[in-house]
Amino acid sequence: MFEIIINNTGFWFNLAIPFVVSIFLLITNKEFILKEFAIQFLAITLILIGSYFLLFSTTTDLVDNEVYNGKIVKIIKEEPYDYNYDCSTKTCDSTGNCRTIQKTCTSTEPEKRYIVTSNKEKINISKLEWNISKNDFRAKETKTYRSNQTSFSKLRGEGDIWIVIPNKQIPTSVEHSYINYVVVAKHNIVNRKALESDINYHINEKTLLPYPTLYSNKYGATLLNRVIDTTNSGLASSYLKELNMVAMRVGKSKQANPIIYITNQGRDFKNILETYYKGGKKNDTILILGVDDKKDIVWADSISWSKTVDFSINIGNVFTDSKFNLNEVDKIVSTFENSIVKYYIRKPMEEFKYLSENITLPIGWQVFIFLLNVITSFFLFRYFLKN
């Protein structure tokens, strides 16, 4: 984010205003000293950086989320307990003599319940989800010693740790934020491939649905609704179950987030979907399956940020050269997984850092920062000159 701010012309323009005025006052006004200049310049710099950071984060798509896929490694419950801590206070009299009043206070560490994933993420879970995990899998208690702990009873909390190790693979999907240079750059390699009117038409016809959202399973693990079916084939849940397992396997090894979009539209729908999803997240591998009334796959394409075109070419060839029917869930999902493993190479978003020079705020927010800068600088200058 910082490199985007300092590459922004508006930032340096706003910084130049108080700087030039400060230099002028240092030369012409003896009441304005160097220390005041330093405070003024530092305050305005921090205000400008904070304003740009806040507005870039909240008014643009610069900060985006991608999904890391993995599995549950363990499920943990940390019991509550009371503990002592030093809360001594220091008092001073009018003569400047100070003394410390020794005091010990007691506080309570609350109960914690969470999942640890294979990507070392933590997912907080409810008491009900913990109980389900404990009942489905055996929980092991670990006695824990803390030097400042004061409660050792069930009533106040023993502070022990309970660990559940699942005896089966349970996939997880967790969102992580990243800087999306491509979406917000004014001049970039992604061209708009569909008209706004076509996008609105498909939204109204419900053939174009929003990007998948997260949901939680019975253990509290978050997962992605990674299968979108606008044909009402009734197979979405079957595909979702299989594709979640694929995501678990390729999530870390290939840094991929597989998604399947099933449609009965023509091939040009790919451009509409790609525009609507803004090219997808940086680790997405979106398989688009075009089907007819008999659920036969008549065309296939993909959306991804793969380093090579091999992944997209293979997807198109493998699903059109051979006859696939949507009912062949296992066959289609395994073919998709093989394509990811063999041909998908994730392109790091860092390779698009050069676009930071083309990332700016809308003119309205630039005017807002300018006015904020002028008003703040005016009051600071007036304060220093009067004091």
Q: Please list the ranges in the chain whose pLDDT falls under 70.
A: 1, 186-192, 387
pLDDT of residue 98: 84
Residue-wise pLDDT tens digits, 351-363: 777 777 777 788 8
Record the tokens describing residue 177, joined without a space. 């934020």
Helix axis angle for 196-204 and 269-276, nearest 10°, is 90
148-153, Cβ contacts within 8 angstroms, sequence gap of 24 or more: 148/83, 148/84, 148/85, 149/81, 149/82, 149/83, 150/81, 150/82, 150/83, 150/84, 150/106, 151/81, 151/82, 151/83
pLDDT of residue 187: 53
pLDDT of residue 192: 64
- What CATH number has the domain spanning 171-349? 3.10.310
| DSSP code string of 28-55 | H-TTS-HHHHHHHHHHHHHHHHHHHHHH
The SS3 of residue 74 is: strand
Which residue, chain included where needed, has tokens 């729908």? 269
Taking the mean position of all CA atoms in its chain, how far away is CA 223? 14
CB 225 within 8 A of CB 252: no
Residue 362: how many CA atoms within 13 Å on its side-chain side? Answer: 9
Domain boundaries, the chain: 2-60+359-386, 68-164, 171-349
CB 226 within 8 A of CB 211: no
Contacts of 303 (CB under 8 A, 6+ apart): 270, 273, 274, 277, 279, 280, 284, 286, 288
- If we measure between CA atoms, which residue out of 103, 104, 168 comes closest to residue 137? 168
